[in-house]
A = this chain, B = another copy of it.
């Protein structure tokens, strides 16, 4: 299995997710600014993965400091926080690095550098363990002998490894269940076509690619046993921000009596927000919609809307699977208990 992101002596090495699946290109980021650009341009993407990347970006920034410069440290953190607005894991990871920085005030710079680098690597390793725990909790929910529908890429590449939604599927397969996966291609960035199908093929889990607009047809057909997706931010009431199209899937799943599961680490919970209405939705460039891999598919001067995420109200969510257990409605209570 290809590693999503690693801390090396040369810098932070990521597989370039804009080039997959046809090219396996690795990018080495040597500065925090290069990490920020890799997050912004989606060389690395997926809420847990960009949390790890941001932490490593902070550590790289600290490595380049010539002294314990508070203003410079704040600027490093800010440049990483300004890359993408929706996934809360980014801010969670930066906050964790900030707290460590503060706890190390007055310590020698060499120690600060080493501790920050170690913390970023720890976040990566913890993320893999967290995903495996999500998988264990979620595997029981997956019906045996049916198809699992997933959207976007909540797989190893969206995390430090193993994956959230795909972690649940992997754990179900490891537990001996017979499942195959339908993957929405997930326009405009095609994470499903390019990344999810590729990962499933590498794991030997049977995968079928469909366009996003076919999901309803197959949910109605009775073939789909459950939907499992990741999340970029979950509000206190259980409203879920995730890749655009998730809301549509959730409505169609409910309409057809198919369970809809969200797999996400506790770091994706944002209990400061009472509901999903307060989650900022990133708008991305028109070119992602008008062009596919550089090929123009719409007329010149086409007006575009390109929200990268949508919000699924909690009433469509059957359960939220975290590393600490499975939350069900009323989510205000169940999520708070898991977060404590």
Contact = CB atoms under 8 A, between A and B. Distances in A.
Chain A binding surface, main DSSP class: mixed
A208 interface: yes
Contacts of A244: 211, 213-214, 217
Interface stretch (A33-41, A91-99, A245-253): A245-253
Interface residues of A, number: 54
B304 A216 contact: no
A293 B299 contact: no
Contacts of A208: 303-305
A213 to B, nearest CB: 3
Contacts of A290: 193, 209
A188 interface: yes
A122 B175 CA distance: 65
A254 to B, nearest CB: 9
A211 B209 contact: no
B214 A307 contact: yes
Given A216-B310, A305-B208, A292 B295 contact: yes
A197 interface: yes
Nearest to A210: B305
Nearest to A180: B303
Contact of A190 (B297, B303, B306): B297
A324 interface: no
Contacts of A296: 22
A197 B298 CA distance: 7
Contacts of A299: 21-22, 194, 197-198, 201
Nearest to A151: B213
B216 A185 contact: no
A206 interface: yes
Given A251-B216, A303-B208, A304-B208, A185 B298 contact: yes
Given A198-B299, A209-B302, A298-B193, A289 B185 contact: yes
A212 interface: yes
A187 interface: yes
Given A209-B290, A289-B211, A304-B209, A220 B247 contact: yes
Contacts of A127: none
A208 B298 CA distance: 11
Interface in A148-202: 151, 182, 184-188, 190, 193-194, 197-198, 201
A262 interface: no
B307 A193 contact: no
Interface in A198-242: 198, 201, 206-218, 220
Given A208-B305, A307-B214, A255 B245 contact: no
A214 to B, nearest CB: 5
Nearest to A214: B244
A198 B112 CA distance: 58
B197 A213 contact: no
A278 to B, nearest CB: 15
B289 A210 contact: yes
B305 A214 contact: yes
